[in-house]
Homo-oligomer: A and B are copies of this chain.
Amino acid sequence: MLEKRTPIRINQAVEKIMEHFIQGRTEEVSISECDQRFLGADILATNDVPLFTRSAFDGYALRAVDTVNASSNQPIELRIVEELGAGMVAAKEIGPFEATRIMTGTMVPKGCDAIIMLEAVKEVEKNGERYIVIKRKVNEGDHISFQGEEAKKGEVILKKGTKINPGVMAVLATFGYSKVRVAVKPKIGIFVTGSELLDVDEPLQEGKIRNSNSFMIASQIRRAGGEAVYFGKLPDVLDTCTNAVDAALKDVDMLITTGGVSVGDYDLMPEVYKELSGEVLFNKVAMRPGSVTTVAVLEGKFLFGLSGNPSASYVGFELFTRPVIRKMLFCENLHLREEVAQLNVDFPRANPLTRFVRSKMYFENGKLLVEPAGIDKSNVVMSLAHTDSLAVLPGRERGFQKGDQIQILLFDDEGGSFPWN
């Protein structure tokens, strides 16, 4: 069945996907098991930080009011009433013209409202008592870290959807999160199609290529934060194929197929969608590569029919599948992050369609530059190994030149918002 397809714009395609309701789930895991996962709940400060009002420096705790008239000409003297070591708690409240020797991190005694640093005063002894001599006004609050000034108990310190990294681990441990609520990893099934596909351990035969898409996409799924389940090669028989898709869909949150979506291919996937009464959101997108991408919803779950071409399925995954995974992980920025970079090669050929060029970015004196990955070798698969971004070349009537400022899309975890085109 050959059908005429009307391509939709890229942002329309993304919008159609994102409009569809999809909900992540959460689970609680041990802090030792949560690394690299995404927070499934806001993390609250379980105590004030600092826990108590403390001195930020070695010095003397005092009452600022006692120092208002202090100057070089008119130094004032405060009597030292107590000396606190690290971790000690003051026994005495401070009265007028009194001070307490205090260490960094020590709790500030009652009555005082400022610290003067050790090196800013001179200590003298008179009649068996110790005094400090102060020659300048000290301001209220000087060198005091007030209880809760960095975080108040109950305050959100890390947002749901944050990816857990070494620093986040430190925060979780500091606040006593021995169990951590994380997003359940979305489970994404993969089928490949195509009679030309050999298994990775099969010897090469004329006219055939080894299946590389399933391994590549599984790795993209993991990079996005999901769990990949490879279901194998779809058979060429419609019934068997429909049953396989139907059965697999029950086990996963979404399904990816590669190949079998082109007009003129053995049009397997469109028939399967029909058989399963799937709603096809779109089956052609005005972009290169990957224009034949089809996205359907079957039984409330997404089915991404990506191209069989590795480059096209790579791009299709990052543009269309990744944001759905990131939504199920509660991320704030669901899409690829967009930045501006300077193109470092010519792209003289004009193209009416927006192109996504697998690229490698780098810096020159703090300036972001980009060029196609594996520029000397045109092989699609080999260049993918060095791809860390997609250069976006909007469709227009002339090509692009070295030095042009263009948009690039990054695969990093920070992500970005949409639309970027």
Contacts and interface: CB of A to CB of B under 8 A. Distances in A.
Interface of A: 31-32, 35-36, 46-47, 49, 51-52, 87, 89, 150-151, 157-158, 162, 164-178, 199-204, 206-207, 209-220, 222-223, 230, 310, 314, 339-342, 358, 363, 365-368, 373, 377-379, 381-387, 405
A367 to B, nearest CB: 6
A174 B200 CA distance: 7
Given A211-B173, A366-B367, A216 B339 contact: no
Contact of A171 (B35, B165, B384): B384
A46 B209 CA distance: 13
Specify how many copies of this chain sit in the oligomer.
2
A42 to B, nearest CB: 13
Going nearest first, the 9 A-B pairs with the smallest beta carbon separation are A167-B384, A173-B212, A166-B219, A178-B201, A170-B216, A167-B385, A87-B207, A340-B366, A169-B215
Q: Identify whether the interface residues of A are mostly helix, strand, loop, or mixed.
A: mixed
B385 A170 contact: yes
A31 B382 contact: no
Contacts of A310: 170
Contacts of A89: 206
Nearest to A380: B170
A103 to B, nearest CB: 12
Contact of A31 (B46, B173, B215, B217): B215
Nearest to A51: B204
Given A151-B377, A172-B215, 14 more contacts: A49-B379, A89-B206, A151-B379, A157-B382, A165-B219, A165-B223, A166-B217, A167-B384, A168-B385, A170-B215, A173-B212, A176-B200, A176-B210, A340-B366
Q: Which of A211, A220, A363 has the most CB of B within 10 A?
A: A363
